[in-house]
Structures are given as C-alpha cells and as structure tokens.
Chain A
C-alpha cells in the first residue's frame, strides 16, 4: 500500500516560491531520499509532509486521509520526525526524551505499556546504557540515535529525517543510515530523508528523488538516476560516476559556473 501521496504541492515564503506543483508517492517499506542543491526545497518538503508548514495542494496519508483534515495528534501517530542532531533539548534524560515520543498515544499518566515500548526501542537502538544520562551530554552520533528512537516511539508509519548525517563523522553516518534502513526493512515502515551526500543516498535508498527549483527533476532507483548528466543539470557540477559492487558512486570534479543556474 502507498504510505504518502503528494499531488500538486506548492509552497512559498511570501513571494519566493520554494515548491512548485510537486508530485510524489512514498511506497511501503521504502527508503526514499531527497537530494538536490541548497534551496531546492528538500527541507521544506519534509516540513510540509509533517504539517509544520502549510502548503497548497494535497498530501494524502495511508492511501486516502487528507493531511490537512487530520489533527496534529493523528499526524503524529502516522509520521515521526527526526530533526538534525544539533537540535537542543531542554534538560531531559535520554529516557524522558524517548518517552516524549509516546505523547501522541498517552495521556498525562505514563502507562506501563509506554515504559515497556520505550525500553524496547532503547535496546533496539543501543542507547539503554545511557538511559538516565542527560541528552545534552551525549555525542552527536548518540544524539542522532536517541532522536531516531524518539520518532520510533511514536510508532509511525513514516519516518521523516532532516539531514540525518550532518554533523556526524563517517562511522556514525554509516551507523545512523544502517539503523534507519534496517528498521525500515524489518518493520515495513517507510523513511523519507533529506540528504546532501549523494553516495550515502545511493547506498541506502530504494528511491532517489532529485529536486530542482522546488519540483521533481528525476525520480528512480539510485543506479539509474546518478548519471553525469543528471548531476550536471541538478548541481551544476562536473562529476565522474563510478560503480562499485553494483552501486554508483559520484566523484565531483569541478563546479560549472552558470550552467545550472536558475
């Protein structure tokens, strides 16, 4: 079944248009990466899907429920948002931070069931050893895992990730994306992420969406999409695309000034 259907989505900040008539479908158990230059609308699209911004056009969840007609709480049960790991959290332990993810499901009192779910998710993401540490004391990689854990505690059908690898070193970048991919494949939820690194996107995604000027420039599986031509027209960069273990990887050579402007 389809998780999210986006039809004719437009968004602008004042007169500056960010997304224009964008169409996109997020399928079941799929890792979908949004790539494109700065200002192409990746983060804006993530925020529109999470109803943080209010766009024009239609976003349907779950094969038919209109996002705009749902309450925030209902959206929170369907979509879990993972902010960048640089996000600050007011004094809160790791346990409490993840427990917060239960908010859409629980009342004032924390049920035993909520605690059980938090404990399970902490073990799944290997953060149980610092359960009662303060979030602010963690390293970037640990923070990212806790933030993913919080989103998973919402028991969502879709995970939205905003630059999940920024501010992480190479090892933690791989670990964060390994985690996301294995959860998607194990549980059947889908992940939509905005990501800058084309090689990581290619390696961990089922579907790549290339955004340019607020609309979908190309969509498909990573190996057919990451071509010299596409990279030139999206980023204005001359690149060599090589192949390793049937996966493409991009080596940027030089910037082509002016050729992909606009």
Chain B
C-alpha cells in the first residue's frame, strides 16, 4: 500500500484506539472542570456558614434554594437575611473576582508566551493603586462622590493598558515589547504612588496601604453583578479565541501561517484581560498572586489548550480566592484579615510544592 492510500484508508481498529485515547485525554480535562465546579459549590456553602450567627451548611443551601423554589424549600427570615443580605454576595464576589483574575492571568501568559505575565507584572495593578491613591490622598479623580476611588482605579487601569498597547504598537506588537512596556509602566505608577504616599497624611497613607492589600469586605450585590457580568462576558470572548491563543504559543510566524491575525488577537485578548482586571480590582483593591499562579496550577493539571485552560483556571482562581477569604475570616476571628495577604500565604507553599513535585516541564 502506498502512503497516499494510507491517507484515505477507512478506519482501522488502531485508529479508533488512538481516537479513544485522545477522547479520554480530553475527558479528564472536562472532569477536572466539573470537579472544580462541585468544589466551589461545596466551599461556598461552608464559607456562608462562617460568621457570628451559627447556621449549618444545610440551612445555607436551603435558604439559597428557597428563593428559587419557594414551594419546595422553606427557610426562616433570620437565616434568609443572614445568607442573602450579609454573606452570599461576599462569597460570590470571591468566586467571580478569583475567576476573573485567573482568566486574565492565563490569557496574558498565553498571548505573551511568558510564564511571568499577569495583571500585576504588566503594570495594570500598579496603575489601579495609583488611581486609588490619587483619590484617597488628593481627592482628585475622574468621577466624584462615593465612586471616586473605584472610578479612578478603573480609569487608570485602562489607561495603563492603553499606554502599554501604544508603546508596543510603535515598536511592533511582540511579546517582548509588550512585557517591557508593561514593566516600565509598572515602575512609573509605583513611583507616582510612592510620591503620593510621601506627601500624604498618615491616615490617608494607611487607607492606601489597606486598599493595596485587597479585600472582599466592601462587597455588595451590585458590585457582584458588575464583576460577574464583565468576567463572564470577557471570558467568553477570550474562550472564543482559544484556538488563536493556542496558535500564538507556537510562535507568531507559525500562528500567521495557520491563519491567525496575530496582532488583532493579541490586542483584543490584552484588552479583555485588562477590562476584567480593572473591573475587579477597582472594587477589591489589589489581590495579587491569583492571576499569576492559578493559571500555572491549572496548566500543570489540564495542559496548555486554552479551550480548557481558560475556564479551568477561572474555577481554580475562584477556589483559591474563596478558600483564602474563608481562612482569612476564621483564622483570627473576629478579626478579618485582608484576603490579599492570605492568598499568598496559602497559595505560595502550595504552588512551590506542585512546582517541585512536577518533574516534567509544564511550561
């Protein structure tokens, strides 16, 4: 049989074996995503039981379901109030914020082909900090009233990503130019924040420092709504470009030869990642680490295919942030630690453990 004939042969048993093997390989990734979803649901129930009023996980789930199926599930007004008005929005804020930061991080690592890329290493978070500091210390900003800090953090975050884009565009949009521009922007905004702290009153500086630690304590239903909407919408856009991001991983020239509009994809994904990050950290303050490490942990498990990596990192990020917030609320109760501190305390040892245990190159 010639090689041309082999190409068109009908399916031999060996072929279906190989197909089966690949189907299992994909199935494992889907299983991981499903397990993560279950994990989040369980952890959310546990997280909602924590606090001064003692309620059980079953009561929490019943109170949640009672709103959707009032005929089937019954709860008390007291528990309903505790769950729906006091706790659930914080839990959901943790889930969506963790998800968004992790998705943004894995998208940036993918389009820039760099394991160190994250909203923080690319200057986006330091721009948000500067925006918030400007509002706290100088009272100056783009919007007025209660949304001054939020508005400033958001605007400066988007501004930073536009500057990174502009600088990179001028030199040619490659991973290297974008990373270098991002790092330059990070130092610039850090220096400006330091300057503001230097001239600020001590109470104001304290407020800035507290903002920088990141916290879910300022959550509310409308904030959860905004974060959830932006995160889900941008994640769907990024996932639609999964194949293009995968192709970028093989190098710009190969991606082009496979039909990818390289610069467009890179800019679009960068903008989506910035938008997610901006809409989260303007409410929570800078929660570091998740955007960098959740994608790495996920990549070790599901591999580098962004069709699975993006949603799976989002779920892992949600688990980490929700878990960290749960611990932060209980470990020194009634004192609640800022979640930004806890994410690193819990996540770094876990990450180093995985990193050392893994023999194979995963990046």
Q: Give me the interface of A with B, judged by CB distance under 8 Å.
A: 47, 50-52, 71-77, 79-81, 83, 87-93, 95-97, 100-101, 103-104, 108, 115-116, 119-124, 128, 131-132, 134, 136-137, 154, 160, 182-183, 186-187
Could you tell me the distance in whole angstroms from the C-beta of A134 to the nearest C-beta in chain B? 7
Binary per-residue interface labels of chain B (76-100) against chain A in the complex, 1 for a CB within 8 Å, 0 otherwise: 0000000000000000000000000
Q: Which of B47-55, B162-170, B257-265, B336-344 contacts A (4 or more CB under 8 A)?
A: B257-265
Number of interface residues of B (CB under 8 A): 42
Binary per-residue interface labels of chain B (351-363) against chain A in the complex, 1 for a CB within 8 Å, 0 otherwise: 0000000001111
Contact among B4, B110, B243 for A90, CB-based, below 8 A: B110
How many A-B pairs have beta carbons closer than 8 Å: the answer is 126
Contact among A50, A108, A154, A160 for B243, CB-based, below 8 A: A108
B19 touches A73 (CB 8 A): no
Q: Tell me if B254 is interfacial: C-beta within 8 Å of chain A.
A: yes
Closest A-chain residue to B257, C-beta based? A81
A92 touches B258 (CB 8 A): no
A103 touches B251 (CB 8 A): no
B304 touches A91 (CB 8 A): yes
Could you tell me the distance in whole angstroms from the C-beta of A174 to the nearest C-beta in chain B? 16
Q: Tell me if B250 is interfacial: C-beta within 8 Å of chain A.
A: yes
Contact among A50, A51, A90, A123 for B250, CB-based, below 8 A: A90
B251 touches A123 (CB 8 A): no
25 pairs from A and B in contact (CB 8 Å cutoff): A47-B253, A52-B253, A74-B259, A75-B257, A76-B258, A77-B259, A79-B257, A81-B254, A83-B254, A90-B113, A90-B246, A92-B249, A92-B304, A93-B303, A97-B250, A100-B243, A103-B258, A108-B307, A115-B19, A119-B19, A120-B9, A124-B7, A128-B18, A131-B21, A187-B7
Q: Give me the interface of B with A, judged by CB distance under 8 Å.
A: 2-4, 6-9, 11, 14-15, 18-19, 21-22, 25, 110, 113, 240, 242-243, 246-247, 249-251, 253-254, 256-261, 299, 303-305, 307, 360-363
Which among B2, B247, B253 has the highest number of chain A CB atoms within 10 Å?
Answer: B253
Measured CA separation A76–B244 after assembly (Å): 13
Contact partners of A74 in chain B: CB under 8 A: 259
Closest B-chain residue to A90, C-beta based? B249
Closest A-chain residue to B262, C-beta based? A72
Query: A72-B261, A91-B363, A108-B307 known; A116 and B19 CB under 8 Å?
Result: yes
Query: A90-B110, A108-B240 known; A100 and B246 CB under 8 Å?
Result: yes
A87 touches B4 (CB 8 A): no
Query: A90-B113, A115-B22, A131-B22 known; A103 and B253 CB under 8 Å?
Result: no
